[in-house]
Amino acid sequence: MILAHLPSGHLLSPALKRRLGGKWLMLAVTLGAVLPDLDMIWRVALIPAIGFLAAVLLHLVLDTVAGHILWSWSDRFFHLINVPAKFDPWLLNLVLIPLALVELAIITAAVLLWRQNQRPLTP
């Protein structure tokens, strides 16, 4: 059943009102007939929300490696690797360290996964 939930609740409410009474009974029964279908909306919204939060956490963890990040539980900045400011422009400081090889490996893995998931065009 797809369309009959709301009308079925509307049909049930007068029978219950005769037995139970109550000012808000019709609204409660009608909503009760529809609300179980909201789990579809919940599932559709929950999966992207979990993915979004996981990506935000991943971003913060990656920034913790060499960036200065202020985590919410502390008032001091965290970083696992200190990148000394030796070069000008400053971007060279991030590119000319061994950690850049880890970033390059992550980028390469992402490109390879993307290429693997591409469907070949059929003529």
Q: Strands, DSSP E only, in the chain? A: 69-70, 77-78
Give the list of residues 6+ apart from residue 12 with CB closer than 8 angstroms, or none: 29, 33
Work out the mean pLDDT of the chain and round it to a whole number.
83
pLDDT given at position 108: 93
Maximum C-alpha span of the chain: 83
pTM recorded for the entire structure? 0.56
For residue 53, pLDDT over 80 is answered with yes
Task: Read off the pLDDT of each residue in 37-65 and give the average, rounded to a whole number.
Answer: 84
In a 10 Å sphere around its CB, with 0-12 CB exposed, 13-18 middle and 19+ buried, how is residue 83 labelled? Answer: middle
Q: What is the pLDDT of residues 19-38, one digit of tens each?
A: 888 888 888 888 888 888 87
For residue 121, pLDDT over 70 is answered with no
Helix boundaries (H) for the chain: 5-20, 25-34, 38-66, 91-95, 99-117
% helix, strand, coil for the chain, step of 5:
65, 5, 30
Task: Read off the pLDDT of each residue in 91-110 and give the average, rounded to a whole number.
Answer: 83
Which string of DSSP letters, residue by residue, matches 77-88? EE-SS-----SS
